[in-house]
Structure 1
């Protein structure tokens, strides 16, 4: 195959997989799952698209040796996300340098983003701008720890200002938007009440737990 293709191209990966599949089928063994992982995102996507047209066996998706947590998560999200959005793939594996727990978390987040499977609520938070006068990052981290066991269909918003916050996050089930020393709690874009800044997190968590 290397002589024919010169390198591990998508076509070479598919040829290799098909030759192994034929061996198993000749032996009347059909409990097969196919994996065509590569560390190259574009090669991986093309290989899975090609094999998807040829066989009906389940496909195990992954970007192999994706790298350290930050860049590896991005590579995995792009590669797996494109394929899953096209309806290709049955199981996934996120391969990162580091803790397997991080791999599992990233995998769940990929599935959550595509609305294929949920594990824990979804948090919507703004990137902040000149109007933001609260520590959004600190709030999000605290809220993440507290809500991990809540029902997975909840959408929770943490927004930096009361000007755009409730409107931009009106699809959220519940959320908070900050201001200078004060903020608001809102549900489905409608303001419920005004609170002091140091009360926002507790109020949001309490409201989410009651839903």
Structure 2
């Protein structure tokens, strides 16, 4: 079961990241901004937030993120369950025109985009909730100020090595939490805006 679960998760992640850059006509977005600038700004904003949040995440921040992501996961799961029938309605015409075939293809493609991106957002939301478990359990000092650390390779001992690994783990946790929080914001905006535009296009077809 664990192998199948891993395989399914990997498939959702790969497909979501691919489909986010493809429109309903299966045309990929190869713009410089999408391929290079957006990932660059994403990482820069994450590092900037890490520098500002030098002592990590406060208790209020953890409570806010936990409650917000829990609500978001519930809403997205509900939306995912009912999305396919709402967005994809195959043409009932016995002899569909070329335009009807195109609309049918666009509806099917958007259903895939919506399902995979929404599913991916649910997965990374759950991943963040798992990452902040140590903060809620207070297993060790999670408010460690990483900006005050100085590494001296001349004085390497057991304590400095332990401190290095602790700092590395804290940095990794904070980086991943912030990085994927930004990803969730972007994905949510993408899903909502694309859904509105797609529904508007469907309304205009029938008008």
Provide TM-score, normalisation by structure 2: 0.19
Q: Which one has more relative contact order, counting CA pairs under 8 Å at least 6 apart?
A: 2
Greater helix percent: which structure? 2
Greater strand percent: which structure? 1
Provide TM-score, normalisation by structure 1: 0.18
